[in-house]
Amino acid sequence: MIKLKGMPNSIVRCVVPEDMPSSELPSAFGGILEKGASLLQGARLVLDFGGRSLSGDVIFRLLSDFVWPSGVSVAAWITYDAASQDVLKRAGFHISEPSIGSSPASTLALQRSLRSGQRVEYRGDVVISGHVNDGAEVLASGSITVLGRLSGLVHAGYEGDESAVVVARCMEATQVRIGGRIGSVEKDETSCRGKNVIVSVRDGAVLIEIGSL
């Protein structure tokens, strides 16, 4: 069942369960049109699909069956599937979380793991409670904290902020990016592997320090 959550600035978050079969999407959105019409009046929607893959056909169907008839405006289409993000981006849709309140940058707390092929891009800080697997990507304009295992690619301060840091509870990644800098860990370098680390830019170089978590 799709959940509607009210947020500040007249934003309504529409959370689509990741395990809902795509074939059930039209009827689920149809149900919102019937029952949640009053809630949607004048609202800006964040359509949150989690890790779901969205094809061009599915996007078009959602537009024609739900978005256009309901009269809502969609502030953002959120999916962690990198290929779907590219489809949405090419079509000119917003795929980043909208700003809430006066502060443009806030923190995205993601209570899940990211699998290979999934990507999170966020203007602000990102905290991930699960793992970032090999082949997954996290881009944040601020800092990134990974409470699980970091094996994928993270890019903190991707808009150029070199004061951003990366904190990982279990470091398995071979590359970390901060601002315009790229730090690589040699394959045979084992001193930080599996350890909790803090990665920052110091004197123009990416520095990995063993943390004390």
Partner 1 sequence: MAPRVIVVTSGKGGVGKTTTTANIATALAVMGNKVVAIDGDVGLRNLDVVMGLENRIVYTLIDALEGNCRLNQTLIRDKRTENLYMIPTAQSKTKDAVSSDQMVKVCDDLKHEFDYILIDSPAGIEAGFKNASAGAEEALVVTTPDVSAVRDADRIIGLLESMGKSPIRLIVNRIRPHMVKRGDMLGVSDVLDILAIDLIGMVPDDESVFTSSSKGEPLTLSSDTQAAAAFRNIASRLTGNDVPFINLDEPQGGGFFGFLKKTFGHGR
Question: Which residues of this protein are in contact with partner 1, per CB under 8 A?
Answer: 18-22, 24, 49-53, 81, 112-113, 115-118, 130-131, 133-135, 149, 151
Q: Of 117 and 211, which has the nearer Cβ to partner 1?
A: 117
- Under DSSP, is residue 81 helix (H, G, I), strand (E, B) or coil? strand
Phi, psi torsion values for 89, nearest 5 degrees? -60, -45
Separation between Cα atoms, residue 133 and residue 172, nearest integer Å? 9
Q: Of 123 and 131, which has the nearer Cβ to partner 1?
A: 131
Q: In 26-180, which ranges are E strands? A: 44-48, 73-78, 106-110, 119-122, 124-128, 137-140, 144-150, 153-156, 166-171, 175-178
Q: Of 73 and 116, which has the nearer Cβ to partner 1?
A: 116
Q: Of 11 and 150, which has the nearer Cβ to partner 1?
A: 150
**Smallest distance from partner 1 to CB 118, Å:** 6
Which ranges in the chain belong to alpha helices (H)? 25-35, 37-40, 56-62, 68-70, 82-90
**Smallest distance from partner 1 to CB 105, Å:** 28
**Smallest distance from partner 1 to CB 199, Å:** 21
**Smallest distance from partner 1 to CB 151, Å:** 8
